[in-house]
Amino acid sequence: MLLELSVLPNGKSRRVSDAAAGLSKIIDASGLCHQAKDTRTILEGTWEQLMAVAKKCHDEVMKTNEQFVTIMRALDGPEVESPGLTACSHTPADRARIKDLPEDDGDWLIP
C-alpha cells in the first residue's frame, strides 16, 4: 500500500520548519520506504504501519500548532503491495497513479 501524507500547519501560530523537522524524524524512524516531495511524503507499508506513522505525525504537529490540516491519499491493490519493506518496491507507474488521484479542493474544511 502507498500513502501520500501531508501535515500542514495553518493559522496564526504557524511553525512550518519546526513541523517539517519533527515529521522527517518520525518518518525516517518508522523504517518504512518513503520519498519526500514538496510538502508531502509518499510512504509504503501496511495499513496499520501507515496509519501509525500518520497518527504520530499528526500528534507531533499538534504539539506546536493550534491549527493544521492532515491530508492522506492511499493507493492499494495487488499490484502495489510490497513483499517486504527492506527496499522500495513501488514502480514509477504506481507513483503516477497516486499523482493522478483526484485533487481535493478543500471544500470540506471548516473555516
Query: Average pLDDT of each block of 10 consecutive residues along the chain (111 residues)?
Result: 86 59 87 85 92 91 83 83 47 56 50 42
pLDDT for 19 equals 66
Q: Residue 7 sits in a domain of what CATH number?
A: 3.30.70.930
pTM, rounded to two decimals:
0.68
pLDDT for 109 equals 45
Domain limits at 66? 2-80
pLDDT for 81 equals 53
Residues whose CB falls within 8 Å of the CB of residue 4, separated by 6 or more in sequence, listed in order: 40, 41, 42, 71, 72, 73, 74, 98, 101
Total number of domains in the chain: 1
Q: Could you tell me which of 37, 51, 47 has the C-alpha nearest to residue 95?
A: 37
pLDDT for 21 equals 73
Cα 56 from Cα 23, distance rounded (Å): 8
